[in-house]
Amino acid sequence: MLAVPGVYRTCTWSLRRAGFPSSFLRRSSTAKHVSALPPKLLERARILSAEHDQLSAKLADDFDAKTAERAGEIFRVAAAFKQYEKAKAALSELESLLKSNDAEMRELAQEDLNDTNTQLSDSSRELSVALTPKHPFADMPCLIEVVPGPGGTEGRFFADTVFKMYQAYCENKGFRSRVVKYESSDSIGAKGSEGEIALQEAVLEVLDEGSYAHFRGEAGMHRVQRVPATETKGRTHTSAVAVWVLPSFPENSTSSSASEWDNPESDFYIDPTDVKSEKMRASGAGGQHVNKTESAIRLTHIPTGITVSMQDSRSQHTNRESAWKVLRSRIAQKRREEREEVARNLRSSVLAQSQLTRGDKIRTYNYGQDRCTDHRAGVDFHNLPDVLRGGPTLGKVMEAVHTYLAESDIQALIADEAAAAIASTKAKNGK
């Protein structure tokens, strides 16, 4: 499932290298209509729909699990395409009626026109969603990494808040989660205005399948505006926290996922000889002579320079396993992003060039105004305490982001088709 064929040039939101034109961002958050579908997409839908009809006919005669699976995969496209065709046909009929000489006829047609237009835009939207390839990591569990942005302790305190927010959200939603790493910075004693600790870095694993798709929109810079505990003049400070969402392997790594590790084609494959493992403790006597408690481990992936250190557990073994888990996830995400970069470069000839960079904020939590704003989805929500408790309001924010992500995936898909069309024309002209 993970070895991604090249045709899946899906666009995903990931802040590390995201690049959507801001004009599009604004439009997409309010857009209700997807403008006319490019011919290429319609052609693909038509082919898949025909295939579905064929498979259904075959299944009626004699059931076969493989055929059924394929039919299930393309069912949504086929159904949406039929709706689309129906609306299209209705529309052309209405249009001819509008030209009618009979005034009453024209009036009736006019009345139906609005409904039919809505049907058409709904079905084209559904069709493009159905055509959008699923993100290759979508079904996986995920790791949520929380790291304070540069600057003072206020960012660290807020990092703790963000971490607890996701932890509570998982609990409220009934997701199974596990703290992989929760490391505070040196000044453990100090507490933030809400009693937080100064977080250095934390990793939460959400074990449910599909968590990656659920949380991937949370990746990016989260900004806080509030009055810190240490602020005597009552001034509001702004700090930032980075959130990364990485794909992770299911808990009881079944033989299939274990073989993904050994498969050099897989995004999760790491050549063990590329990794340097260090124990972070003073050397000296070992064995029965001492009963050491130091258990910290640091792994360095030499080709990429990615390092992971882990010292949460009293067991060196557990620390090493956790470090490998995080390392695999980071590397898989990086490889994925590199491929997406290629796809985006192709697309950029079609979409405008205003880039959103790694440092751009995706969300603001403003305590004074009791407000949570998602800048991509262009939505404001009040009841900040409920957001930070991981309550239903955070769920609404995330829903808005899901809608936004779906829209941008569609736009990217359309842009991909357009870019491919341009490229093929160029190739033809070049001949």
Partner 1 sequence: MPRLPPSIFWRARREISPVASLLLPVCRTLQSTANELRWIRDHVHRTPSVIPAGIRIWQLCEERSRGVPLQYLLKTQPFGPLEILCRKGVLIPRQETESYTFHLSSILSSSSSSSSSSSPLTILDLCTGTGCIPLLLLCCSQKSSSHFSCTGIDISARAISLAKQNLSHNLALIPSASSSIQFIRGDIFSTKFTSEIYAQHLPDAAEIDVLTANPPYISPSDFRSQTARSVRHYEPRLALVPDSVPSEVSKKYGCREEDVFYARILEIAGDLKPKRVVLEVAGWEQAVRVVEMAQAQRDTRGTDYKVIEIWRDDVHGVRDAGESTEIWGQRIRVKGEGDGRVVYLSRLLD
Number of H helices, E strands in the chain: 10, 11
At residue 410, φ and ψ (nearest 5 deg) are -65, -45
Write down the least CB distance from residue 276 to partner 1, Å: 9
In the list 187, 230, 349, 424, the residue contacting partner 1 (rule: CB under 8 A) is: 187
Residue 355 engages partner 1 in binding (rule: CB under 8 A): no
Write down the least CB distance from residue 334 to partner 1, Å: 23
In the list 287, 353, 427, 428, the residue contacting partner 1 (rule: CB under 8 A) is: 287
Q: Which is nearer to partner 1, 234 or 272 (CB)?
A: 272
Question: Considering only 1-9, 300-308, 313-321, 411-419, which stretch makes contact with partner 1 by CB under 8 A?
Answer: 313-321
Write down the least CB distance from residue 199 to partner 1, Å: 13
Residue 256 engages partner 1 in binding (rule: CB under 8 A): no
User: Contact 283/276 with Cβ under 8 angstroms?
Assistant: no
In the list 291, 353, 427, 431, the residue contacting partner 1 (rule: CB under 8 A) is: 291
Q: Which is nearer to partner 1, 6 or 287 (CB)?
A: 287
Residue 273 engages partner 1 in binding (rule: CB under 8 A): yes
Residue 298 engages partner 1 in binding (rule: CB under 8 A): no
In the list 83, 318, 369, 403, the residue contacting partner 1 (rule: CB under 8 A) is: 318
Question: Considering only 81-89, 236-244, 315-323, 390-398, which stretch makes contact with partner 1 by CB under 8 A?
Answer: 315-323
At residue 325, φ and ψ (nearest 5 deg) are -60, -50
Residue 294 engages partner 1 in binding (rule: CB under 8 A): yes
133: left (phi over 0), alpha (psi -120 to 50) or beta: beta
Burial (Cβ within 10 Å: 0-12, 13-18, ≥19) of residue 143: buried
User: Contact 192/164 with Cβ under 8 angstroms?
Assistant: no
Residue 272 engages partner 1 in binding (rule: CB under 8 A): yes
DSSP structure string for 194-207: TS---EEEEEEEE-
DSSP 152: S
Residue 302 engages partner 1 in binding (rule: CB under 8 A): no
Cα(310)–Cα(180) distance, integer angstroms? 9
Cα(322)–Cα(200) distance, integer angstroms? 17
Burial (Cβ within 10 Å: 0-12, 13-18, ≥19) of residue 352: exposed
Write down the least CB distance from residue 34 to partner 1, Å: 49
Query: Would you tell me which residues interact with partner 1 (CB under 8 A)?
Result: 184, 186-189, 272-273, 277, 279-283, 285-296, 311, 313-318, 320
